[in-house]
Amino acid sequence: MATTDNPSPHRGIKKGLYVIPTMFTAANIGMGFLAVLYSMRGFQIAAVNADQAAKYFNYAAIAMGLAILFDTLDGRVARMTRTATEIGVQFDSLADVLTFGIAPVALMYSWAIAPVMPEGSSEHRFGVFLLFMYLMCGTFRLARFNIQATRPRVLLEGTPKIDKKNFVGLPIPPAAGLLASIVHFAPRPLSAYGDEWPRFYVILMMTLIAILGLLMVSTIKYSSFKNAGTGRRSFYVILLIAAVGMSIWLYSRYALLALSAIYVSHGLIWYLISVLRPRPKSADAEPAETHT
């Protein structure tokens, strides 16, 4: 008499766990989609009603901030439940191209460049070029991360060694987060700040966009915080997270801008310190004895 194997009751639960990180990634895509729509709507009414446009630009910035939260959670949940897969890595990167590549480009164009720089002018064309290069740098950064995460042994010689505690180059979510936090701090379109200052502000934003693009394709190390809260001092990490969360809830405009600026700049500061720090000189070899 043939016997049938009873499936393990935990098998269905295990399969269901794979859906959880995908749900966070889908939420990430949804926030990027909304950020693009809100940016388009804000640009549409910026010349007519700057205050109403500011609401849509602020919505776009908040959507990108929530996307960073979902992007952080999907990776942590996948590691905690041991459901990380190669297709999940690729799916997450495609989501990041939209949310942290295309969405901030749409926001910067609608909030800063297009309302101030006349279309067809050299400044407008250069701004579009910088936004395109930002998107290219971010996409290249994601592709490099995927190669390092999935197939580290096939990397060419000279590529930085994989370090789980650090990222190589500025990750694209913090880069987009800094741009979004600036808009959240001052959501009115830059064209609404008088006659002389808007052009100066746009130049500053274009400079920042270029710097962020270079940092993403650089080899400067940035902390990943993947091991945060796993050691003996996890209690202090929890208190710090609670304090940061409360500060964001009460003073989101200032807290988010400060946090994003600190993270983007800390890798560059560490790099400059390591370059400028005097290296210990190796002991000189003792001169060989000579016989006369």
Sorted by where each begins, the domain ranges of the chain are 15-276
Which residue is listed with tokens 């052009």?
A: 199
**CB proximity list for 247: less than 8 A, separation 6 or greater:** 255
**Cβ–Cβ < 8 Å for 215, 268:** yes
In single-letter form, the type of residue at position 118 comes to: P
- Residue 286: what pLDDT? 47
- Average pLDDT of the residues in 243-270: 90
pLDDT at 247 over 60: yes
pLDDT band at 241 (very low <50, low <70, confident <90, very high): confident
pLDDT at 12 over 60: no
How far from 184 is each of 37, 41, 65, CA to CA, in Å? 16, 16, 10
pLDDT at 231 over 60: no
Residue 228 CA, distance from chain mean position: 18
**Cβ–Cβ < 8 Å for 128, 109:** yes
pTM of this structure = 0.82
Of 263, 179, 259, 279, the C-alpha closest to 220 is: 263
Between these two residues, 19 and 276, which has the higher pLDDT value?
Answer: 276
- Average pLDDT of the residues in 82-111: 85
- Average pLDDT of the residues in 110-138: 94
Phi/psi region, residue 225 (left: phi>0; alpha: psi -120 to 50; beta: rest), is left
